[in-house]
Amino acid sequence: MLNNNTIAVIKSTVPVLEVHGTAITKRFYERMFKSHPELLNIFNHANQKQGRQQTALANAVYAAAANIDKLESILPVVKQIAHKHRSLGVLPEHYPIVGENLLAAIKEVLGSAATEEILEAWADAYGVIADAFIGVEAEMYKHSEEQAGGWAGYRAFIVEKKIKESDVITSFYLVPQDGKAIAGFEPGQYVSVKMDIPGERNTHIRQYSLSDAPGKPYYRISVKKEAGEPDCPAGKVSVYLHEQINTGETLWLSAPAGDFTLDQKDARPVVLLSGGVGLTPMISMLNTLAETAPDRPVTFIHAARNGKVHAMREHVEQLAQKLPQLSVYWVYNLPTEEDAASGAFHKEGYIDLEWLRSKVPASDASFYFCGPVPFMKAMNQALKTWGVAEADIHYEFFGPAGTLD
């Protein structure tokens, strides 16, 4: 437990963190990777290059400081991050490394403003927060290994099928190399894929949503090919998967993880909103509902650039023909002439609140959304403006968590 003086000192640093938080976390990662380059085998290099990881950590540190007197209020965030840590293989021995470099970064960036009292208070606070993460993650590691079909670390899977879903998205059907059972999962969860790419110094790990319902003898991931920039590592793994990984080859997976999951106990209508490759967890949720709750009202709305990049459209439309309670709508930002001629979409442009309210029967429903950050911000704002209860708004960031406000 932290004493009152430590809590007061931490709270006094909140305004400073609001201004200098990202500078601190940027310096933190620079220091840590220089002294412990082996950790580059865990962290996503693209997120580092783009600044997303630094921003996410800055937001987490700020939230911890602002809520240091009621840390239980940030437990949902702790669990969300812990899922990612467990999936990546973050271990208790990594936390002292993080703490040492975080405190050093605070001292470097703030200079004389970082008094001994402030540094000592943050050292105490970090110890409490680290213990919370380690405890939550220990339970997750135990469950991951001891559940039926579970395993520790990474397990070899064979690519049984490779299916092109659109011009940019390909599905990989993965079965365990050892022929044994695989762990179940909640619709909406993801797996980490660890890859050693020829010519690359470090291992790359990427997290991909499972895109089919649980209970199958395989896992399916549906991956968008991200071209990226020449000097940016974005797309290294997805391009390698698309161009180099074929049927019969091996991928290494961690057990399923994630807290963005479908509430299957809720019998109310459910609305699934997706943009681009954000449809992958929604397909898992939709397929699960089709199998386990075919009478539950579902509205499935997907936004894509055009029909060429729209994955799994035929599959969803076939489900809609079988399930009278399923309503399906497509929104194309830049439809092709072929799309227009075939009537392939229901709205051109973007999803706005007026149109959304015309397609969704009522706001008393469970809403799930995923996609590019601008899409998610627009959906979050629309739902809040509509008066949807915060408890009924669920979303997932692909990559480090950001803010939608």
Q: Consult the annotation and say whether 242 binds a ligand.
A: no
CB 359 within 8 A of CB 331: no
Residue type, 27: R
Q: For the chain, how many residues are written?
A: 405
Catalytic one of 29, 126, 137, 219: 137
CB 193 within 8 A of CB 210: no
Q: Consult the annotation and say whether 206 binds a ligand.
A: yes
The DSSP secondary-structure symbol of 210 reads B
Q: Consult the annotation and say whether 185 binds a ligand.
A: no
**d(Cα 305, Cα 361) in Å, to the nearest integer?**
26
**d(Cα 38, Cα 16) in Å, to the nearest integer?**
31
Structure-token pair, residue 253: 């997976």
Whether residue 390 lies in the annotated active site: no
3-state SS assignment for residue 177: coil
Helices (DSSP H) in 36-93: which residue ranges?
A: 45-50, 52-66, 75-88
Q: Consult the annotation and say whether 280 binds a ligand.
A: yes
- Minimal CA–CA distance to 374: which of 327, 333, 316, 328? 333
Q: Consult the annotation and say whether 85 binds a ligand.
A: yes
- Full DSSP string of 232-275: S-TTHHHHHHHHH--TT-EEEEPPPB-S----TT--S-EEEEEE
**Planar angle of CA 49, 91, 207, nearest 5 degrees:** 45
Structure-token pair, residue 348: 């051109």
Beta bridge partners of 59: none
CB 222 within 8 A of CB 161: no
Q: Consult the annotation and say whether 281 binds a ligand.
A: yes
**d(Cα 94, Cα 56) in Å, to the nearest integer?**
18
3-state SS assignment for residue 311: coil
Q: Consult the annotation and say whether 398 binds a ligand.
A: yes
Q: Consult the annotation and say whether 277 binds a ligand.
A: yes
Q: Consult the annotation and say whether 397 binds a ligand.
A: yes
Q: Consult the annotation and say whether 400 binds a ligand.
A: yes
Q: Consult the annotation and say whether 275 binds a ligand.
A: no
Whether residue 95 lies in the annotated active site: yes
Catalytic one of 95, 141, 173, 395: 95
CB 24 within 8 A of CB 57: no
The DSSP secondary-structure symbol of 308 reads G
Helix (H) or strand (E) holding 8: helix 4-12
* Active centre residues (catalytic): 95, 137
Q: Which residues are annotated as a binding site for NADP(+)?
A: 276-281
Q: Which residues are annotated as a binding site?
A: 85, 190, 206-209, 276-281, 397-400
Q: Which residues are annotated as a binding site for FAD?
A: 190, 206-209, 397-400
Q: Which residues are annotated as a binding site for heme b?
A: 85
